[in-house]
């Protein structure tokens, strides 16, 4: 065997090619596919949703209030002001800071609770695909685009990507090779 042939064989072996005799060498197959990718992505999505939810909740000792005070909040503040004054617009002998705290506490207790957040639905019916919101709508359970649950969140998951499934937006798409009878 010549030096060039030895060098060529060494190069192919270093690149991961395998040889089982004859003149053909098998190229390396590469990284094995990750069959748990969907589970990994679902876990990551759940983690990010939990982080987002935690950011939107008020920490202990805090309360979410409207940006602009409501009439009830202003009334509570004024009522506390009257309670801590002598009726002539002068504060009773009390630490002004404590009076403000009382007014603030009463005003916060009159604040309405934050409105319930509507969960943003992912399905094609609740969140239609538009030019400004372009995405592929997939079933969250099976990951298939033709699953009826991808079309509407109340539909059952069929765990199938076959065209023509009832309830799917792909219901009227003919399978490949089907004829119009």
Looking at the fold, whether 170 and 123 belong to one and the same domain comes out as yes
What residues make up the domain containing 159?
Answer: 118-175
What band does 178 get if pLDDT is binned at 50, 70 and 90?
low
> Rounded CA gap, 45 and 49, in Å?
6
Q: Give the pLDDT confidence score for residue 66 in this predicted structure.
A: 75
Q: What does the block give as tokens for 125?
A: 């019916």
Looking at the fold, whether 102 and 138 belong to one and the same domain comes out as no
Looking at the fold, whether 146 and 161 belong to one and the same domain comes out as yes
- Of 14-23, 66-75, 102-111, 143-152, give the range with the top mean pLDDT: 143-152
Which residue from 115, 101, 102, 99 is spatially nearest to 65, judged by alpha carbons?
115
Q: Give the pLDDT confidence score for residue 88 in this predicted structure.
A: 56
Looking at the fold, whether 130 and 169 belong to one and the same domain comes out as yes
**Model-level pTM greater than 0.75?**
no
Burial of 147 (0-12, 13-18, 19+ CB in 10 A): buried
Looking at the fold, whether 98 and 127 belong to one and the same domain comes out as no
Residue where one domain finishes, among candidates 79, 94, 114 = 114
Q: 18 lies in a domain?
A: no
What band does 101 get if pLDDT is binned at 50, 70 and 90?
confident
Looking at the fold, whether 128 and 104 belong to one and the same domain comes out as no
Looking at the fold, whether 127 and 159 belong to one and the same domain comes out as yes
Percent of the chain with pLDDT over 70: 77
Return mean pLDDT, the chain. 79
Report the DSSP beta bridge partners of residue 160: none
Query: For the chain, give me the number of helices (H) and strands (E)?
Result: 5, 2
Q: 81 lies in a domain?
A: yes
Q: 168 lies in a domain?
A: yes
Type and span of the H or E element at 44:
helix 37-56
Looking at the fold, whether 142 and 166 belong to one and the same domain comes out as yes
Pairing label, strands 18-19, 25-26: antiparallel
Averaged over 142-153, what is the pLDDT? 91
The number of distinct structural domains making up the chain is: 2
> Rounded CA gap, 86 and 25, in Å?
99
Query: CB neighbours (10 Å) of residue 148?
Result: 22
Looking at the fold, whether 139 and 109 belong to one and the same domain comes out as no
pLDDT in tens, 104-135: 888 888 888 776 655 567 788 888 888 877 88
Looking at the fold, whether 108 and 125 belong to one and the same domain comes out as no
pLDDT in tens, 70-89: 888 888 888 877 766 655 55
Q: 63 lies in a domain?
A: no
Tell me the residue ranges of DSSP E strands in the chain.
Answer: 18-19, 25-26
């Amino acid at each position: 065997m010549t030096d060039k042939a030895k060098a060529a064989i060494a190069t192919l072996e270093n690149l991961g090619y395998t040889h089982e005799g004859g003149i053909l060498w098998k190229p390396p197959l590469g990284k094995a596919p990750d069959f748990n990718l969907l589970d990994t992505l679902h876990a990551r999505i759940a983690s990010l949703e939990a982080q987002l939810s935690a950011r939107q909740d008020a920490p202990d000792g805090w309360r979410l209030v409207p940006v602009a005070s409501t009439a009830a909040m202003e009334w509570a503040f004024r009522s506390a002001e009257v309670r801590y004054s002598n009726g002539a617009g002068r504060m009773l002998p009390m630490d002004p800071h404590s009076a403000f705290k009382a007014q603030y506490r009463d005003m916060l207790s009159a604040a309405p609770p934050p409105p319930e957040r509507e969960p943003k639905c992912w399905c094609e019916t609740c969140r239609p695909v538009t030019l400004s919101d372009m995405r592929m709508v997939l079933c969250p359970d099976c990951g298939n685009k033709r699953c009826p649950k991808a079309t509407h969140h109340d539909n059952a998951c069929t765990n199938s990507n076959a065209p023509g499934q009832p309830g799917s937006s792909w219901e009227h798409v003919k399978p490949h090779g089907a004829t119009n009878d």
